[in-house]
Structure 1
Amino acid sequence: MPKFPEAKLAESPWPKGAEAVIFIIDARSSFERSILEDWISRHDKSGVPSKVIPLELGDDRKPLNVGALDRAIVRLPNAVVAPLRIAWVHSRRSIQSGPRLVDFLRGSDYRPSLWRQKYLAEKRPERMRLVLGEPGSLDDLSARFKNKYQQEPAARPADFSIFVARQAAIVLDMGERKLRGGRYKVPRYVVHSLRNNPDFQEKLRAIADERQVPLAEVQREVNDYFGEMISVPNHFWLDVFAKISNLCLSLGYEPELRYDKSDLERIRAMVREYPSALLWTHKTYLDGFAVPKIMFENDFPMPHMFGGANLNFPGLGFLLRRSGGIFIKRSFADNEVYKATLRQYIGYLMEKRFPLTWSFEGTRSRLGKLMPPKFGILKYVLEGCSHSGARNIHIIPVAVTYDLLRDAEEYAREQSGVPKAPESLSWMVGYIRSLAKPMGKIYVDFGEPVILPEAPDPDDKLALSKVAFQVAVEVNRVTPITLPALISMSLLAVFPRALTEEEVIADVDQLVSWCAARELRHSPDFDKQYAENMETQLQLMIDEGIISRFDGGRQVVYGIVDGQAPVASYYRNTIVHYFVNQAITELALQAAIDAANDGANLEAVFWAEVDNLRDLFKFEFFYPPSDVFRREIAGELERIAPDWQSLFEQGKTGLRELLGRFTPLVAHRSLQMFIEAYAIAATVLAEWPKDEFSEQDCVEHCMSFGKQAFLQRRISSDASVGKLLFSTAFKVLQSRELVNASRPDVIEARKQHAARLDELMRRIEYIRASSIASRGALTLRDSVHERL
């Protein structure tokens, strides 16, 4: 027998005051069993009847042989069950390094082989720990069994014995987590719990009756789905996933993720107390590493992550399933068995306080701004909560933001018409290799939760959309403004011109002041010395091929590289939502200026244009209700000019003065790309020779005409030419019934819409020219024009 710390052996495993004891010892080897039996015998209480039952509880997939336990329960009906186990803790070095290749070969120290157990006991006895699970009386366990299954234990003795063994495993896991940490909390015996749930069985019987097939056939189908979707996380693979997450995130980014520690403690309290889901923005495949990395490093239970079945390929699928990944089919609307199984599984996880996490956009954002939320997973999560009776459900928005992004170039290619590469093992290897280039920092920001006292009715689509809208608004609110995003916004505003470093700093400084006045969230880069680091940020973007530096003239200048405007616009679009209200205000003011000579009520013109623009961009941005939105616009006017109403009364002169007070002007910085794309679509439709006009027609013809328009410099940049932009433009046309060929006045309506977009193009180009002129940096052409 190896040496063992006497202090540990001195603690008695016998429950105090027990009339009889059943020891369940979770032993994976004869060596462990001998140590645990010695521990019991050292403190033997000869007057107390007892029985030692060895069981191996570590693998949920193995059936439990509970015959001996069944007999012990019959023999000692008043016994207290005392579960015992040996835990093997990691060395300090292995904790710091994470899993190594040798761990794959010899097995993890968490579950060491027999020879390894003997070696550790002999050479490293401090790594052996005795675990005593919380004892429980058979009376209490019987009451819990009856409450769960609505049957007496005597009616199902074998099932009751299995129940007792699994409860022993759970309390042993809880005791072991005190040694290892909460990050290793994983669900146990999931399939058994789901399969034996009375409500679930009743649902399956109803489906079998509706299909007119035997229940066994439906149950076999359920078993297949269990194998597909149910995650099987364990300690070793959680460690592996954490190490791979660190590796992938640190290849191109600074090792430390930027987040607010106090925010994290707020989230910890929510996850511990309430059924919770963390919904994050989706910019890149790395998003799925960022949130789990933070939670693992801060000893949260690892979240269960939803992912599409397209990621369940060899290698990645194996890893993710063993570290909390749940793969679901892309489409299963008509599969009642699959929906019932998924709903039951989700409800179980939420009931047991295992946090869920997924991208609520459903796909990576190809344009940088927030995509319209997908309701699918949210719907099934809330259905699962409704089914399990969950209360105070916390939906926590999470913004994951990057200085630069490897995927942005891929998105630009996709938007230009290049097909997306399919995911595979070789694709994954290539993707990881592409990350090994400096890309700055990663920021993770947690918003205020959307709290649901109870889950809404599963068929209440309005309630579901309200939840998704609240999440989107909150995640937009906490998305930080980054320096690369502002640099991109600054240089795109003058594209294809270039700016000196001093001009870039001056323009970014204006934007920073604008953001500070509105108390917008920003990255930690914006300290008092951020201008001194501008050259470093510019160099980072030069290395990425987004901007260029020319030092062969009188001054060093920076500009967007030809063909890279779509990439730069991606970074600009990550913060564009902050500027939309002022952009709409500027365009509406310009519309009022244009109407000043017509004797119109200029304030009425202004508000009508505000409403028109809000409706035009309703598929791009998330707005509050109309009355709230109008108050926000009035707030923008009040902030710029408290006397704005008197300026309206002064007509064109007053309105020009009012627009001139907007510094910096932002309409062209934020909305020009969308207006130009919509104008291209409107022009194509106005000249469309056929009656039918599909989304595919719109995208194909707009892509061709858009490229022509850019070559003719009729639009500001090729960032305005993209498949997603034209798909959204089609939605606008469709919502205005302009693709409906049966509409009597459709031809005239299409022409009016195109003319309106042309007018918007003119207004935003005027604002753009005014902004460039306000810099006081004339071009050579401008100087010649002045002299002439």
Structure 2
Amino acid sequence: MTTEAYGATKRPEDFRFLIRLARQQGERLGRAYLDFGEPLPLRKRLEELRALQKTSESGASTEIERIALDVEHRINRATPVTPTAVVSLALLGADRSLSISEVLATVRPLASYIAARNWTVAGAADLTNRSTIRWTLHQLVASGVVSVYDAGTEPVWGIGAEQHLVAAFYRNAAIHIVVDRAIAETALLAAVEDAEASVEGLVQPTAVRDEALRLRELLKFEFLFSARAQFEKELTDEVRLIGRVDDTRKAAHAADVRGLLEKADVLLAHLVLRPFLDAYHIVADRLAAYDDESFDEDAFLAECLEVGKQWELQRRIASAESRSMELFKTALRLARHRELVDGVDGPDIARRRREFADEIATAVRRVNAIAELARTC
């Protein structure tokens, strides 16, 4: 999986592949949990959607898509958080080896956030317990995803060589519970920056909402978001969890809102959004520099892989996870959606591609600023 994501040719899934796969199943790796989401009354939901369709101006039928989203949201809500996902999130976010105390320093406030959101933890595991985290680290070492160095004063654990994408697979099992929080943090910082540059110095609630919606639009091919009205409600809930806010409908001084971020128990934007935004940044940067009349997707993606490796070596991206073919393809899908790739003529295409790159670069800068806040506060 890792080599293919970095551009290698996919190996055929033939009989030899099946034999290798069967042999890999010989060892027990964790537990399987079965749970059921909230039931979906299909007949009632279809009637509601058809009634909405009659009042819609678009005329396009979206019943199947809306039902699928409803089902997926219920699956997400029923999916418990696993210790493996949380530990992978901590290690990927640091992208360096950590002692168990350093892992716990990230996991414990995250566990408090998970409890505040009323998300269940698989097996009722205590994510703040040192033994639970140590056992999880040992399991990840046994699976080859994490490596441990124990010849010094204390053991330290880090993502193994070429294992970032495998660790990301584990992390993504829980990423749906933290993406709204990550967007809320980034939107607050964006609104603070705008307010600090204004005469009034006030953060308007609409500015936070609009920035969150822009990020939602930017990442809509990566994450399964709620409908807009529900998303805005959840955004308000997330802001209240970040810090004490008397009334989210009123403007607040920029210094007070920045203080919310500085005093937050946990900041997640860099842990959640940075791998995706870094990958998008590579694609947008290369697209802005692209001047051929015809677009060769294979050649373009190959260049993105090469530049991604360069940026990794220069530490312009935080992790090897971001130089992934899958992430590049999704970023290119977004660019196509914005009509920045195929069959595009006109003198403004170069300008619009630069604006796209600038938009993502700004989001990356803000997420990196939140990473610095998390490190120093």
- TM normalised by structure 1 equals 0.44
> Deviations 1:137-175 (Å, cap 9, x if unpaired)?
xxxxxxxxxxxxxxxxxxxxxxxxxxxxxxxxxxxxxxx
Residue in structure 2 matched with residue 770 of structure 1 by the alignment: 373
Task: Say whether 1:468 aligns with 2:77.
Answer: no
Task: Say whether 1:689 aligns with 2:279.
Answer: no
Residue in structure 1 matched with residue 187 of structure 2 by the alignment: 588
- Tell me if structure 1 keeps the 8 A contact 2:126–2:132: no
Task: Say whether 1:599 aligns with 2:217.
Answer: no
1-structure distance, mates of 2:17, 2:319: 31
- Counterpart of 2:81, as a letter, is I
Residue in structure 1 matched with residue 57 of structure 2 by the alignment: none
- Tell me if structure 2 keeps the 8 A contact 1:438–1:540: no
Task: Say whether 1:435 aligns with 2:47.
Answer: no
Residue in structure 1 matched with residue 82 of structure 2 by the alignment: 482
Q: How does 1:540-555 map to 2 (within 5 A)?
A: 540-555=139-154
Residue in structure 1 matched with residue 308 of structure 2 by the alignment: 706
Task: Say whether 1:730 aligns with 2:316.
Answer: no
Superposition deviation, residue 492 in structure 1: 1.3
Residue in structure 2 matched with residue 562 of structure 1 by the alignment: 161
Superposition deviation, residue 648 in structure 1: 4.9
2-structure distance, mates of 1:620, 1:575: 14
**Alignment match of 1:444 (pick from 18, 31, 34):** 34
Superposition deviation, residue 694 in structure 1: 5.1
> How has the CA–CA distance of structure 1 residues 647 and 749 changed in structure 2, closer, same or farther, with 3 Å as cutoff?
same
**Alignment match of 2:230 (pick from 613, 623, 628):** 628
- Counterpart of 2:177, as a letter, is Y
Superposition deviation, residue 663 in structure 1: 2.1
Task: Say whether 1:500 aligns with 2:102.
Answer: no
1-structure distance, mates of 2:33, 2:347: 53
1-structure distance, mates of 2:278, 2:372: 16
2-structure distance, mates of 1:413, 1:701: 16
> Deviations 1:444-475 (Å, cap 9, x if unpaired)?
22112323229899xx8511111111111111
> Deviations 1:624-647 (Å, cap 9, x if unpaired)?
222221111011112332336499
> Deviations 1:675-726 (Å, cap 9, x if unpaired)?
0111111000000021333543442221221111112111011101111111
Residue in structure 1 matched with residue 116 of structure 2 by the alignment: 517
- Tell me if structure 1 keeps the 8 A contact 2:6–2:324: yes
> How has the CA–CA distance of structure 1 residues 755 and 516 changed in structure 2, closer, same or farther, with 3 Å as cutoff?
same
- Counterpart of 1:516, as a letter, is A
- Counterpart of 2:369, as a letter, is Y
Q: How does 1:17-416 map to 2 (within 5 A)?
A: 411-416=1-6
Residue in structure 1 matched with residue 55 of structure 2 by the alignment: none
Task: Say whether 1:677 aligns with 2:267.
Answer: no
Residue in structure 1 matched with residue 54 of structure 2 by the alignment: none
Superposition deviation, residue 754 in structure 1: 0.8
- Counterpart of 1:491, as a letter, is L
Task: Say whether 1:419 aligns with 2:22.
Answer: no
Q: In structure 2, list runs of 5 or more residues that go unmatched.
A: 51-59
2-structure distance, mates of 1:569, 1:628: 27
> How has the CA–CA distance of structure 1 residues 745 and 528 changed in structure 2, closer, same or farther, with 3 Å as cutoff?
closer
> How has the CA–CA distance of structure 1 residues 477 and 646 changed in structure 2, closer, same or farther, with 3 Å as cutoff?
closer
Task: Say whether 1:655 aligns with 2:254.
Answer: no
Q: Secondary structure, in 3 states, of the residue corresponding to 2:363? A: helix
1-structure distance, mates of 2:278, 2:271: 13
- Tell me if structure 1 keeps the 8 A contact 2:165–2:321: yes
Residue in structure 1 matched with residue 53 of structure 2 by the alignment: none
Q: Secondary structure, in 3 states, of the residue corresponding to 1:427? A: helix
Query: Aligned-pair RMSD on alpha carbons?
Result: 2.4
Superposition deviation, residue 562 in structure 1: 3.2
- Tell me if structure 2 keeps the 8 A contact 1:573–1:670: no
- TM normalised by structure 2 equals 0.88
- Tell me if structure 1 keeps the 8 A contact 2:2–2:162: no
Q: Secondary structure, in 3 states, of the residue corresponding to 1:548? A: strand
1-structure distance, mates of 2:13, 2:214: 42
Task: Say whether 1:756 aligns with 2:356.
Answer: no
Residue in structure 2 matched with residue 716 of structure 1 by the alignment: 318
> Deviations 1:644-672 (Å, cap 9, x if unpaired)?
64995222x11211112332101011111
Q: Secondary structure, in 3 states, of the residue corresponding to 2:42? A: strand
- Tell me if structure 2 keeps the 8 A contact 1:698–1:726: no
Superposition deviation, residue 542 in structure 1: 1.1
> Deviations 1:346-385 (Å, cap 9, x if unpaired)?
xxxxxxxxxxxxxxxxxxxxxxxxxxxxxxxxxxxxxxxx
Superposition deviation, residue 529 in structure 1: 8.3
Q: Which has the higher strand share?
A: 1
Superposition deviation, residue 606 in structure 1: 2.1
1-structure distance, mates of 2:225, 2:297: 25
- Tell me if structure 1 keeps the 8 A contact 2:81–2:122: yes
Higher relative contact order (CA 8 A, sep 6+): 2
- Counterpart of 1:473, as a letter, is H
> How has the CA–CA distance of structure 1 residues 695 and 445 changed in structure 2, closer, same or farther, with 3 Å as cutoff?
farther
2-structure distance, mates of 1:485, 1:770: 23
2-structure distance, mates of 1:694, 1:423: 28
> How has the CA–CA distance of structure 1 residues 442 and 582 changed in structure 2, closer, same or farther, with 3 Å as cutoff?
same
Aligned residues: 361
2-structure distance, mates of 1:746, 1:561: 41
Q: Secondary structure, in 3 states, of the residue corresponding to 1:443? A: coil
Task: Say whether 1:641 aligns with 2:241.
Answer: no
Superposition deviation, residue 488 in structure 1: 0.6
> Deviations 1:388-444 (Å, cap 9, x if unpaired)?
xxxxxxxxxxxxxxxxxxxxxxx2222112233333333212211012233111122
> Deviations 1:304-323 (Å, cap 9, x if unpaired)?
xxxxxxxxxxxxxxxxxxxx
> How has the CA–CA distance of structure 1 residues 505 and 429 changed in structure 2, closer, same or farther, with 3 Å as cutoff?
same
Q: Secondary structure, in 3 states, of the residue corresponding to 2:290? A: coil
- Tell me if structure 2 keeps the 8 A contact 1:698–1:727: no
Superposition deviation, residue 553 in structure 1: 2.5
Q: Which has the higher helix share?
A: 2
2-structure distance, mates of 1:435, 1:476: 26
Q: Secondary structure, in 3 states, of the residue corresponding to 2:192? A: helix
2-structure distance, mates of 1:558, 1:487: 10
